[in-house]
Amino acid sequence: MTELDPGARRAILESCDALREESVRLLERLVRCPSTLGNEASALNEMARIYEGLGLAPQRVPVEVEKLRAHPGFSPPLVSYDGRDNVVAVHRPRSATGRSLVLQGHVDVVPEGAADEWTTPPYEPAIRNGRMYGRGAGDMKAGIISYVTAFRALKEAGLQPAAEVQMHAVIEEECSGNGALACMVAMPPCQAAIIPEPGPGLPAMYSAEVGVVWAFVTVTGRPAHVRDKQAGVNAIEAAMAIWSRFEAYEREMNRAEHIHASFRGVNHPVNVNLGTFDGGEWNSSVATRARLGLRVGVMVGNSADRVRADIERIVDAARDDAALKGAKVTVEFRGFHADPCVFDMEAPIVKLAMRSYAEVTGGDLRQYPATGLTDGRFFQLYQGTPVACFGPDAQEIHGIDESVGLDSMHDITRSIALTMAEWCGVEALS
Ligand SMILES: [Zn+2]
């Protein structure tokens, strides 16, 4: 590998600086798109326009369930994929002398939660004290704008990558990963991937991530007027008894002997979350039906298949529980069926990204074993493509007043620009 010429390096970093304000404006545009599940179209269209602005031709990559169903990374869908095609753009060099690269990011965001608790509305980006606030600002629209700006910075410096660079803007990172999987399968493999997901409140390089299984447990009791309460079976009470079994499972899974070495020192890495709950019909009726929406973490060394079997076993055992008084219980698996993953910290792309970050900032990226997941697992597990998953300092992701540090975002932009230039090599802009 030839070292990047110092003049080119300086020119690229200067271009990043010159593009900084524009990158903040781009991020605002993307944060204004309320791209929750099923509503990603505006963000995807925005990405298509952004890719066009780089001189690339965006192409749409649909999630085709029948094509992907047999893939080990596939998760059972939650909603239809109509009108939600991912957006991909590909840069091809005049002569490919360097190593190819995927720049990947998800446009979907989790729901804003209690919007009235936000200091400023979640889809009206606001900058306070050097941070941009808004749902998705940190997770991970800033990362997407960083990679886009990094590519643009090379061009502004009169250069372009001397290798194929694919950019993937995908849906459903937050619930299945099927957007990432569809794009990975549709495109030729590259030699490395960069995914600028945010770190845990500080810039970090993902060293490992848990897997996740989603399950929906539906409990059907027996309705009765409350005056005959004893004659009924309350579905909500039965559902809470089932939930307590999952709490016991969570305690068990976090016992030291179940924790993989890559998560040593991480407090409570396997989280089981009761994220949604519906139940009951009327304050004066014994509840007929209740539904628990669960997210169950999967430790490295365990598998999504085994955790799914654990969930079925827990539900089976609950059926025999006298406390449920014969309530009917069913379980359904939709959304994440994701295996855990360890990233290769010795991979050349990871080392190069760490070095670029250190050069740009004078600081180091902390290695981060994540108790949540990213799309990085697809490239690592199913394609053997090394992944550098690192991004800006984000706070309150999935919470109220989510934000991203704009200095940190700029650091990530500059790091990706140098990493791309050195990984792919550069050629003069035609
Ligand atoms: Zn994310």
Q: Which domains does the chain have, with CATH numbers?
A: 6-209+340-428 (3.40.630.10), 211-338 (3.30.70.360)
Ligand 1 centroid vs 139 CA: distance in angstroms?
4
Ligand 1 centroid vs 56 CA: distance in angstroms?
25
Ligand 1 centroid vs 105 CA: distance in angstroms?
8
CA gap 206, 372 in Å, rounded: 10
pLDDT of residue 425: 97
Mean pLDDT in order along the chain per 10 residues (430 residues): 85 98 98 98 98 98 98 98 98 97 98 96 98 98 98 98 98 98 98 95 93 98 83 93 97 96 95 97 94 98 98 94 88 98 98 97 95 98 98 96 97 98 94
Ligand 1 centroid vs 391 CA: distance in angstroms?
10
Ligand 1 centroid vs 35 CA: distance in angstroms?
13
Ligand 1 centroid vs 109 CA: distance in angstroms?
8
Task: Retrieve residue 293's tokens.
Answer: 């929406």
DSSP state of 138: I
Ligand 1 centroid vs 329 CA: distance in angstroms?
33
Ligand 1 centroid vs 204 CA: distance in angstroms?
13
CB 233 within 8 A of CB 221: yes
Ligand 1 centroid vs 212 CA: distance in angstroms?
14
Ligand 1 centroid vs 198 CA: distance in angstroms?
7
Ligand 1 centroid vs 12 CA: distance in angstroms?
27
> Which residues, other chains included, contact 88 with Cβ-Cβ below 8 Å and sequence gap of 6+?
58, 59, 60, 61, 166, 167, 168, 169, 183, 186, 187
Helix, strand, coil share (%) of the chain residues, nearest 5: 40, 25, 40
Task: Retrieve residue 343's tokens.
Answer: 């990233």
Residue 54 Cα distances to 20, 91, 151, 162, angstroms: 16, 9, 8, 16
Ligand 1 centroid vs 94 CA: distance in angstroms?
33
CA gap 121, 240 in Å, rounded: 34
Neighbours of ion ligand 1 (CB under 5 A): 139-140, 197
Inter-axis angle of helices 304-319 and 235-253, nearest 10: 140
pLDDT of residue 2: 61
Ligand 1 centroid vs 177 CA: distance in angstroms?
11
Ligand 1 centroid vs 306 CA: distance in angstroms?
25
